[in-house]
Amino acid sequence: MKTFTEQEVTIFLKENLKDWTFEKNTIFRDFKFKTFVEAFSFMTAIALEAEKMNHHPDWSNSYNKVNIVLTNHEAGGVTQPDLKLAEIIDLIHSRK
């Protein structure tokens, strides 16, 4: 699977995923919610979409915070499924 260069990812983020950051061959974003239930329900919605894609995030949750990191471990960098899942995550977040 093709990995994108740092320049390609940076341009894509700037144009499409402004709240995401590229670092160490990953893209990541931190989210904050009012309650644990809101944070966990956000994660549940993402989990359902990630499972459909068979592409799963590295993430953590602490009370009302969710931290998401996307990369393709086998490919060693950011791939098309990472960018697509990030777009889906932003869409889910915009609905909350």
Annotated catalytic residues are: 51, 55-56, 73-74, 82
CB 12 within 8 A of CB 4: yes
| CA–CA gap between residue 93 and residue 39 (Å, rounded) | 10
How many CA within 13 A on the CB side of residue 37?
0
| CA–CA gap between residue 45 and residue 24 (Å, rounded) | 27
For the purposes of burial, counting CB atoms within 10 Å of the CB of 57, is it exposed (0-12), middle (13-18) or buried (19 or more)? Answer: buried
